Amino acid sequence: MASTVLNILSLSSTPSLSSPINALNQAAPTLPYNIRTLWLFIKSDIVGIIMPIVAFATFITGNTSPIRAAKAFTFVTLHLLQFCISNQSLSPEEDAKNKPWRPIPAGRLSVRNALFLRWFMMPACFILSAAFGVLDVGIVMSTAIFLHNECGYDAHWFPRTALNAIAYSTFDTGAILISLGDRDKMFDAKILLPLIINASVILTTIHAQDFRDLIGDIQEGRSTIPIVLPRSSRASMPILLVAWTAILMAVHNEWNAADWTALVLGAVVGLRFYFIHEAGADQTSYTLYNIWLIVIRVALVLAQDSITSAGPKAGWIDFIPNEIGPLFKQINTTGNIFPKFEF
């Protein structure tokens, strides 16, 4: 599979006349050159997606197997690569203006070959997912990528937000299932509830990524949350980031450095989004937002026991409506997300 990808990259693409060095490189691309081309596709998302997702899956499951960790890393990386190649092959003109270092505008790969590679990646990801026992997750991920990119649902804020949340959740689910090595364990409340909370955090705050691309999105005719609700979207950032951290602290029996770091960082990042509107500042704020997400994941790992058990500060179960309360009390006492029925 890897050799096929590199062979595709080795196909000659149309060199940039303004760059003799690119023309020379494309005439005889080397293995390091091709690897760097793939790396440039996902460069912006290594810290924000790959590292925190793999780390979260490893620690939330208590995985000690380096093989399963490597598989989780491979799953996340290849599916991210599928998304990035798909996305970037559809908007090379926009990238040429805003991100000229990406492979296509940099002349490292033609749009034609990028599209060929994109459609090769889908079945490749299916095969990989099947080999790792998460084919269903891979199908959901590839479908979300297709809807987001090729179908153009990223142009409207509602499906864009929903699909982004689905993508993040699918990354997490696949990595966690692979790290567990046992699908049945996925329904343990200590695994499932932090996953649901993390997905909810992303669903309600992921528009943080759209502030930095405001000008480009307007030029491309997209309708993102910062465009539709310019003031409210910025005002929501300090509120949501602090609120989610406060919720985690409310259910955590013993507050720790991760809780306080998330609270302070959430306030700082949120206020940056609200008060500083320059594109460069929004990029910095988004980077800090990703760091906040990492800290939130750490806090979720440390709060696993508190989330599924009522402690001194975790009387939250008592506030759940009577119709739902028994289910969560069952989770609280058994650690199983599904209640047990007696006949």
Pick the residue with more confidence: 22 or 198?
198
Query: By the 8 A CB rule, do 105 and 5 touch?
Result: no
- Do residue 195 and residue 289 come from a single domain? yes
Pick the residue with more confidence: 334 or 110?
110
pLDDT at 289 over 60: yes
- Do residue 37 and residue 183 come from a single domain? yes
- Do residue 37 and residue 175 come from a single domain? yes
Confidence class for position 112, pLDDT limits 50, 70, 90: very high
pLDDT at 323 over 60: no
168 assigned to some structural domain: yes
Q: What is the mean pLDDT of residues 100-108?
A: 94
Domain holding 148, by residue range, is 33-187
Confidence class for position 2, pLDDT limits 50, 70, 90: low
| Residue 336, phi then psi, degrees to nearest 5 | -110, 135
- Do residue 132 and residue 273 come from a single domain? no
pLDDT at 25 over 60: no
3 assigned to some structural domain: no
88 assigned to some structural domain: yes
Q: What is the mean pLDDT of residues 143-158?
A: 95
Query: By the 8 A CB rule, do 191 and 300 touch?
Result: no
pLDDT at position 7? 60
66 assigned to some structural domain: yes
- Do residue 278 and residue 223 come from a single domain? yes
Q: What is the mean pLDDT of residues 250-279?
A: 92
pLDDT above 70 covers a percentage of the chain that reads: 81
Out of 187, 221, 254, pick the residue that ends a domain: 187
23 assigned to some structural domain: no
Out of 133, 160, 187, pick the residue that ends a domain: 187
111 assigned to some structural domain: yes
Q: Domains in the chain: how many in total?
A: 2
Pick the residue with more confidence: 135 or 278?
135
pLDDT digits 0-9 by tens, 185-204: 888 888 999 999 999 999 99
- Do residue 47 and residue 135 come from a single domain? yes
Out of 156, 187, 218, pick the residue that ends a domain: 187
d(CA 225, CA 157): 5
- Do residue 140 and residue 273 come from a single domain? no
**Domain containing residue 168: CATH number:** 1.10.357.140
- Do residue 159 and residue 203 come from a single domain? no
- Lowest-confidence pick of 16-25, 31-40, 89-98: 16-25
CB under 8 Å, gap of 24 or more: what pairs does 330-335 form? 331/189, 331/193, 332/308, 335/188, 335/189, 335/190, 335/308
- Do residue 198 and residue 87 come from a single domain? no
| Residue 135, phi then psi, degrees to nearest 5 | -60, -40
- Do residue 237 and residue 297 come from a single domain? yes
Amino acid at 272: R
pLDDT at position 161? 94
16 assigned to some structural domain: no
pLDDT at position 299? 93
- Do residue 174 and residue 273 come from a single domain? no
pLDDT at 83 over 70: yes
- The DSSP-derived string for 70-86 is HHHHHHHHHHHHHHHHH
- Do residue 239 and residue 182 come from a single domain? no
Is this prediction's pTM over 0.85? no
Confidence class for position 342, pLDDT limits 50, 70, 90: very low
Confidence class for position 124, pLDDT limits 50, 70, 90: very high
pLDDT at 320 over 70: no
pLDDT digits 0-9 by tens, 204-232: 999 999 999 898 889 888 999 999 999 99
14 assigned to some structural domain: no
